[in-house]
């Protein structure tokens, strides 16, 4: 069986419970050797299957919420769950979309998809403990919008989704955990410990394949990354960085210094640099 077609089927699934179960099954069957990545590739699908709710709005229209009451507390957990649900689709899309890469590439993103499904389940169950469920708050499609912008090129995808947007998640997670613990939600903060640990691996997978593709094309990775960041509409990395997590995921200390918006004149486009990072929650 061809993994591209199988991932395409799971990606198109709109029912949450079915997508979660099929994502785990797909990963398990890949590990057992049931799929190959050669042969007829077919045409990638353009859109991921999503449930009818939550209602989607533009990132700019999403409110900035203070963690100051039950409704905003639940809204923050919902925003985190929404990121993880989108991340399932992003990982599956990498498998179904990009042909001709080593088998290990598809294995990496199937692991990521299964872990993102686990993260979503943890957060959804926690949200239910707050008498809410996924879909009860509006959300935005910023993370998937970046997937659409990078659908033409796996190098751009690896750079601008794992190395940019998901790395931003490494940066903001400790502050969110601190606020959750201060609010009295130690269980929510503990879930983020699991997610942070796994997300370092996800960013590392993106870093690994970004550098693999750069080597294929004769590109110096850090320069290529900076060039992609100069694309209009792409948000710039900005401090504070979670330096230990980023270093563990493959960034170098020199690269982090050069990516600092405040110190690098190349990143002084204020209209872009001050945009919220798509796919990540606003500061609580």
Fold of 70-273: Ferritin (1.20.1260)
Burial 106-134 (b: 16+ CB within 10 A, else e): bbbbbbbbbbbbbbbbbbbebbeebebbb
Distance CA 126, CA 119 (A): 11
- What token pair was written down for 29? 């069957």
List, for residues 104-133, the tens digit of each pLDDT value: 999 999 999 999 999 999 999 999 999 999
- What token pair was written down for 45? 């699908």
Q: What is the pLDDT of residue 269?
A: 37
- Asked if the peptide bond before residue 54 counts as cis, ω within 30 degrees of 0, the response is yes
- Cα angle: 17, vertex 163, 106; to 5 degrees: 50
Distance CA 240, CA 173 (A): 11
Q: What is the pLDDT of residue 142?
A: 78
pLDDT band, residue 167 (cuts 50/70/90):
very high
Residue 130 half-sphere exposure toward CB, CA atoms < 13 A: 24
Distance CA 111, CA 114 (A): 5
* 2 phi, psi to nearest 5 deg: -90, 130
Candidate from 20-29, 53-62, 125-134, 208-217 with smallest mean pLDDT: 53-62
Q: Tell me the pTM.
A: 0.89
Distance CA 206, CA 142 (A): 18
If residue 57 lies in a helix (H) or strand (E), which one and from where to where? strand 56-57
Mean pLDDT, residues 45-65 taken together? 85
Residue 25 half-sphere exposure toward CB, CA atoms < 13 A: 11
List, for residues 13-43, the tens digit of each pLDDT value: 999 999 999 999 999 999 999 998 886 677 8
Residue 102 has pLDDT above 50, yes or no: yes
Q: What is the mean pLDDT of the chain?
A: 89
- What token pair was written down for 247? 């270093």
């Amino acid at each position: 069986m061809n993994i591209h077609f199988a991932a395409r089927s799971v990606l198109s699934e709109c029912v949450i419970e079915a997508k979660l179960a099929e994502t785990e099954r797909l990963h398990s069957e890949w590990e057992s050797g049931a799929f190959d990545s050669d042969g007829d590739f077919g045409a990638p699908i353009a859109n991921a299957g999503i449930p009818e709710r939550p209602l989607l709005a533009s990132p700019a229209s999403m409110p900035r919420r203070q963690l100051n009451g039950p409704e905003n507390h639940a809204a923050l957990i919902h925003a985190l769950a929404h990121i993880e649900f989108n991340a399932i689709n992003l990982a599956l899309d990498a498998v179904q979309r990009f042909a001709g890469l080593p088998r290990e590439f598809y294995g990496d993103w199937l692991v990521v998809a299964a872990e993102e499904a686990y993260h979503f389940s943890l957060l959804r169950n926690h949200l239910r403990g707050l008498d809410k469920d996924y879909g009860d708050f509006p959300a935005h499609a910023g993370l998937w919008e970046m997937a659409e912008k990078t659908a033409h090129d796996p190098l751009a995808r690896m750079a601008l989704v794992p190395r940019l947007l998901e790395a931003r998640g490494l940066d903001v997670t400790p502050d969110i955990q601190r606020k959750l613990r201060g609010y009295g939600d130690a269980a929510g903060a503990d879930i983020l410990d699991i997610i942070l640990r796994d997300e370092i691996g996800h960013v590392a997978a993106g870093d690994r394949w970004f550098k693999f593709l750069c080597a294929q094309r004769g590109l110096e990775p850090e320069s290529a990354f900076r060039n992609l960041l100069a694309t209009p509409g792409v948000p710039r990395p900005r401090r504070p960085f979670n330096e230990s997590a980023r270093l563990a995921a493959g960034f170098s200390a020199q690269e982090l210094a050069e990516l600092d918006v405040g110190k690098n004149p190349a990143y002084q486009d204020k209209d872009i640099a001050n945009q919220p990072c798509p796919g990540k929650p606003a500061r609580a």
